A and B are shown apart, each in its own frame.
Chain A
């Protein structure tokens, strides 16, 4: 993926207001907002790669849901409708940057190192086989891929946000040009103390980190005149206090920490890409952290169906002659083939050896665990 040398338009220049969702694509896939048609918001040419990755994620989700329905794997929470945020934010990073996923962010692990077996790892993780790099331990929440610079997803909703701060600070202190992305889903990202800790520490340490939270829009719809978020409904007013109007303001949340906040349409990959890319560049320049609220809607709702990120990006690509039915068929065949192979392999792979139960509690096996291992009947 190539990155444009300079942003043509920043989110600011697009006339984003305090409470609005920044969008690039309309529901019909046509570029909206103040972006002149002459300007190509193509995500640095990565838009086709993004589409491919989003399709892969949705197909993996669908297969996982089917496996769950068959009772072949444990509980599974998909990311349908959220592909744009997961894929575009990962793609806005450079290869040297690190990802700190939350427990619902398994989609991030399907963006990087695909040629190196990310899809196979994903299904080994779901089947909890001995081939899972995490040895079948975490269950729901995504596997760990250190080689792909992806940290291990933790338990609580936002505990990992501080990890991304510490890691980013450490890398910068050692003279490395590394930005970290901390991702999370739902109101739990901002509701607890970890969010405050992370933004406060990031602000104090000027850590090169980008926080991205996906918010599912609640049932509330803004009433005319109450809100100037024109492109979308926004999170339910119950998720947080400190609202501007009826709705939490990303900008207001970040401001107190000296961390710029921005809200974008989380079902618009080009918008997410632009916003996260700008935040990554800002971090690289040594200007510190950013906070991105990506608003998403359930795909099975009217609003969500109209904003399906795959449909929108495909229309956009087709209109520009970069995608067609033939390419779609080829991608479908390739993706399904990849998934079939992975499911076939992982679905018949043995589970982790019993002795691994005691490994990795500590670097070396202490005597009391040796005794417990040896006493296993």
Chain B
């Protein structure tokens, strides 16, 4: 099985699917000639031509609005938003049009497109190249939201997303674009949407996370083990609809849960995760659920490593939860 980093795995997925399905079209700022600011779409324009890989004007609303029309026609557009921080000019198109067209048309139309966008901090990207806006989209009926943490999942989830009949926000954690490396199945390979993965089994505390924070969580779990606390680490992979069953199974076993994400705490995805756990496993809880997240501040540049929920902060919450 070939070893790839996440950039290579996503490129491999796009290349595979564009070969398999000629309805798949890639569009966005600098995705063609330049191959994408992170080189994710490198070589696709040479391989598939200008009608399949479109360099567009730098306008996110225009990119998503145009992709919406392509999807309505029957293509499978995969628009890229260069950084998730830039997605808000397209928010209206995503929320008012992409997410709602199936419902408002009584099922006559669907909008199968995959919006790819790098997310997250820790790369000295600054205020507008570091944010994690996933909760904004989880809140919108009609969207699916995905965030892989490994190259293998990046390929499998992206292929599953492109083949899905519903619109998918596909958030790629840029901090681990090249840092995460691993085996990636060649050829056709999908990972079912809506299924979490148990990355580390344990008995004492359930640690639920996704994206780049998986690695901080695993580091904290290793440190906790040295303190005699055995953590189970769950990688959500699909943020919406998320895998309640997997969370319930794990929390019913451990009775304790810590949720970790980069995005701000209040009304973040962690709030919904904790609420869901309260609904399905409240009587099995032996400690209050904890959230270790970014702060309720805009994303800072100089202090980004303070802002991010890195392993020492996670470890403290784990130990406090285990010893509650």
Whether B104 lies near A361 (C-beta < 8 A) is: no
Is A144 in contact with B105, judged by CB distance below 8 angstroms?
A: yes
Q: Which residues of B contact A204 (CB under 8 A)?
A: 56-57
Q: How far is the CA of A197 from the CA of B57 in the complex (A)?
A: 9
Say how far B185's CB is from chain A's closest CB, in angstroms: 26
Q: How far is the CA of A260 from the CA of B103 in the complex (A)?
A: 36
The residues in A between 120 and 172 inclusive whose CB is less than 8 angstroms from any CB of B are 132-135, 137-138, 144, 146, 151-152, 154-156, 159-171
Q: Is the CB of B72 within 8 A of A201?
A: no
Bound Cα distance A160, B69 (Å): 8
User: Please, how many angstroms separate the alpha-carbon atoms of A153 and B12 in the complex?
Assistant: 37
B36 at the interface (CB under 8 A from A): no
Query: Bound complex: CA of A180 vs CA of B69, how far in Å?
Result: 10
The count of chain A contact residues (Cβ–Cβ below 8 Å) is 47
Contacts A152-B108, A201-B56 hold; do A159 and B93 have CB atoms under 8 A apart?
yes
A137-B106, A361-B103, A362-B102 given as contacts; is B61 within 8 A of A167 (CB)? no
| Residue of B whose beta carbon sits closest to that of A139 | B104
Q: Which residue of B lies closest to A180 (CB)?
A: B69
Q: Is B96 an interface residue (CB 8 A)?
A: yes
Q: Does A193 contact B (CB under 8 A)?
A: yes
Interface membership of A302, Cβ < 8 A: no
Interchain Cβ contacts within 8 Å, total number: 145
| A242 contacts partner chain B, Cβ-Cβ < 8 Å | no
In the assembled complex, the Cα of A235 lies from the Cα of B232 at a distance in Å of 66
B105 touching A162, Cβ below 8 Å: no
Q: Evaluate contact between B96 and A156: CB separation under 8 angstroms.
A: yes
Tell me whether B110 is interfacial, beta carbon within 8 Å.
yes
A362 CB to nearest B CB, Å: 5
The proximity string for B residues 43-59 relative to A, scoring 1 for CB distances below 8 Å and 0 otherwise, is 00000000100101101
**Interface-forming stretch among A42-50, A64-72, A84-92, A363-371?**
A363-371
Tell me whether A201 and B166 are in contact (CB under 8 A): no
Which residues of the partner chain A approach B107 to less than 8 Å between Cβ atoms?
A: 135, 359-360
> What residues on A are CB-neighbors of B109 within 8 Å?
144, 146, 151-152
- Complex: A134 Cα to B106 Cα, angstroms: 4
Cross-chain contact A166 with B241 (CB below 8 angstroms): no
| A197, B61: Cβ atoms closer than 8 Å | yes
B188 within 8 A of A: no
Chain A residues near B166 (CB, 8 Å)?
Answer: 362-363
Between A138, A198, A362, the greatest number of chain B beta carbons within 10 A of the residue's beta carbon is seen for A362
Measured CA separation A361–B98 after assembly (Å): 11
Show the binding face of A for B, using Cβ within 8 Å.
132-135, 137-138, 144, 146, 151-152, 154-156, 159-171, 173-174, 180, 193-194, 196-198, 200-201, 204-205, 359-364, 366-368
Which residues of B are interface residues toward A (Cβ below 8 A)?
Answer: 25, 51, 54, 56-57, 59, 61-62, 65-75, 77, 89, 92-93, 96-97, 100-110, 141-142, 144, 164-166, 194, 241, 244
